[in-house]
A and B are shown apart, each in its own frame.
Chain A
Amino acid sequence: MLGLTRKDAILLAIVTVVALLAPFILNPFPTNSGFAQFNAGYPDLMQRFAIFGIFAIGFNILFGLTGYLSFGHAAFLGVGSYAGIWMMKLLTANIIPGIAASIVVAGLFALIVGFISLRRSGIYFAILTLAFAQMSYALAYSVLTPITGGETGLQLKLNDPRVLDGALAPGERAHANLFGLDMTSSIEMHFGAWQFTFNTGYYIAALVLVLAFYLSIRIFRSPFGMMLRAIKSNNTRMTYTGLNARPYALAAFVISGMYAGLAGGLMVAMDTQVGPERMFWTASGEVVLMTILGGAGTLIGPVLGAGLIKYMENIISKINSGILHEWFYWMPDGLEDFVITLVYPFVGKGWHLTLGIVFMLVVIFLPGGLVEGGQRLRRLAQGKRAKKSATQTNPAE
């Protein structure tokens, strides 16, 4: 089906179904219950899951397949965002030209950076990419302020030209849209105590995620993908088999840069604002962590890693002492305070601590990332029968 093996088709189908049903799946708790805090099914976070999923999928095409560790991929995301918002300011608030420009500009930038950085390998390559990204960040924050808006970034303004769009009616603002379909518009559904939100922007992002995921499966399974894995596995043999590794690696670099640009373009399409800290090295580090956390070189791992980190950032960080008191109100006062004292350092402003601990636990106990966790669960469920087939699993699953 769709040129995929049965196994890949099933994976794609699962991703598609999960993406379509995300508003339900991510909102398992009734709106009024104490657990509603853990609901993630609101438009912004769902959009972020999809966008960072795309970013990580693209990064994995470079890192997971070729083993080249780029520490500057956020630069492509940022450049894509700037290109996108300028299209939306100059041309039209329709997101199509913006996203197209994001991909193209990020791809071109990746071509330049990749062409130079790929002259070196290993840690030297990583530092070269890091240097380019840090320069982009520093310049965007300061001397490029006329183009980037500096610290305060760029947003849509009432007096932007938008030459393709008609004049705005008084009181009207420019909305990011797809042929009139407003990204921010939502339909809400109430079902008993539950509430579900279906957001246009999210579904567009989800559609792009599914397409991006599908494309990445095709790349993984293609001769090109095989060549990329060959680079990672043995560069010497690659060379002495008559293959020029550099253009393969560069192609992978540019493709992953374009994925990053796509993610950046979607970010401004969903939320019409861009600032330079999107390119800071910690943002580049984040996508590295997402990919490793989920499982580098696996198809679904990076998406899971992206989801986990964004979930922690947006959900755990919002649990404050007030919410803890609500949760544990039923305990005797002394015990309640004790439990809260124990839990408090790990939530709210302590969410970074929890994140750090999760990183360490995953890498210590699940060397292959979250995907390995899933595999272990499946093996556990299948019992001994799976033992035999486990040795024969496809390496690029």
Chain B
Amino acid sequence: MGILEVKNVNKRFGGLQALSDVNLSVAENTVHAIIGPNGAGKSTLLNVLVGKLLPDTGSVMFDGQSVLGRKPYEINQMGISRVFQTPEIFGDLTVLENMMIPIFAKRDGAFRMHAIESVRNERAVVQQAEDMLESLNLADARHDHSASMSRGNKRRLEIGMCLAQEPRLLLLDEPTAGMARADTNNTIDLLKQIKDERDITIAIIEHDMHVVFSLAERITVLAQGTPLVEDTPDKIKGHPKVREAYLGETAAA
């Protein structure tokens, strides 16, 4: 029984069957990659997981509880954090403030009025945020506007913000898309470090095979809205169906 159980999920957009009978099980404390060609339904699946889309049929259970029908922020509060393809951070806020917000969210829940006491006096939160930035090597930039950072650092910050919530499941949506090689490697190292240091489950959607094979313990291949195969990286590499459906396409592209 995995921490995330997707059963018989179907989703139609008009005439397009975006997801058909998707079954997926992500085991706790593993890194599980979901790959597939463009239009395979990866993003749709992700949006179902975080509550942005409601599937037509099927169930999605996280740690024994259904996530369907819950709002994205409620699902997040259950312990699922999401990293976006283009880093979504609070560009107008400083790096430190960016890091404090998820810590407040973890501590205080979805809404709480703390309208009088100064942020500076929340010493525990500040300390935790500082520590987190330290561990991400972003401490020097703590008073900068986050919008002014490099893309790689924005990515680190976003991942750090998700981690600050101590999620049980971290969803990554093509975390290295559009990145230079060096930044990609940094990100891989960061994710490896996270995997080693924490009890955390990571589900990653990725195009870049280098990233996938560096990180994943299990891989699900999605094609035309249906899971084709699910197996370990080594097995996937040689799987004929995958070559046909996915790698073949990549070669052609």
Contact = CB atoms under 8 A, between A and B. Distances in A.
A240 B82 contact: yes
Contacts of B216: none
A234 B91 contact: yes
Which one of A224, A238, A251, A395 has the highest number of Cβ atoms from chain B below 10 Å of its Cβ? A224
Contacts of A224: 113-115
A221 B113 CA distance: 13
B210 interface: no
Interface in B69-84: 71-74, 76-77, 81-82, 84
A242 B145 contact: no
A247 interface: yes
A241 B102 contact: yes
Contacts of A255: 115
Interface bin, chain B: 35 or more
Contacts of A163: none
Contact of A241 (B74, B97, B101, B120): B101
Given A218-B115, A244-B111, A251-B113, A233 B91 contact: yes
B92 A232 contact: yes
Contact of B118 (A218, A232, A237): A218
Contacts of B108: 223
Interface in A212-252: 218-219, 221-227, 229-230, 232-234, 236-244, 247-248, 251
A234 B88 contact: yes
Contact of B90 (A218, A230, A248): A230
Nearest to B110: A244
Nearest to A247: B111
B226 interface: no
B253 to A, nearest CB: 30
A3 interface: yes
B106 A242 contact: yes
Which one of A229, A240, A247, A255 has the highest number of Cβ atoms from chain B below 10 Å of its Cβ? A240
Given A230-B93, A395-B145, A241 B116 contact: no
A243 B93 contact: no
Interface in B102-139: 102, 104-106, 108-111, 113-122
Contacts of A222: 114-119
A391 to B, nearest CB: 8
Contacts of A159: none
Contact of A4 (B81, B102, B115, B118): B118
B8 interface: no
B113 A233 contact: no
Given A224-B113, A234-B88, A236-B88, A3 B118 contact: yes
A226 B82 contact: no
B104 to A, nearest CB: 5
A235 to B, nearest CB: 10
A240 B76 contact: yes
B100 interface: yes
Nearest to A225: B115
A224 B119 CA distance: 9
A60 to B, nearest CB: 15
Contacts of A227: 101, 104
A241 B76 contact: yes
A382 interface: no
Interface in B3-25: none
Contact of A230 (B101, B116, B145): B101
Given A226-B100, A227-B104, A230-B101, A240 B115 contact: no
A239 B101 CA distance: 11
A5 interface: yes
Interface in B144-158: 144-145
Contacts of B165: 241-242
Contact of A223 (B74, B76, B122): B122
Contacts of A32: none
B21 to A, nearest CB: 27
B161 interface: yes
A392 interface: yes
Given A4-B118, A219-B116, 10 more contacts: A5-B120, A218-B117, A222-B114, A223-B104, A224-B113, A239-B76, A240-B82, A244-B110, A247-B110, A392-B144
Q: Which 8 pairs, one residue from A and one from B, show the smallest C-beta to C-beta distance?
A: A242-B76, A224-B115, A233-B92, A223-B114, A244-B110, A233-B90, A237-B88, A247-B111
Interface of B: 50, 71-74, 76-77, 81-82, 84, 88-94, 97, 100-102, 104-106, 108-111, 113-122, 143-145, 161, 165
8 contacts: A222-B116, A226-B97, A227-B101, A227-B104, A229-B92, A240-B73, A240-B84, A248-B111
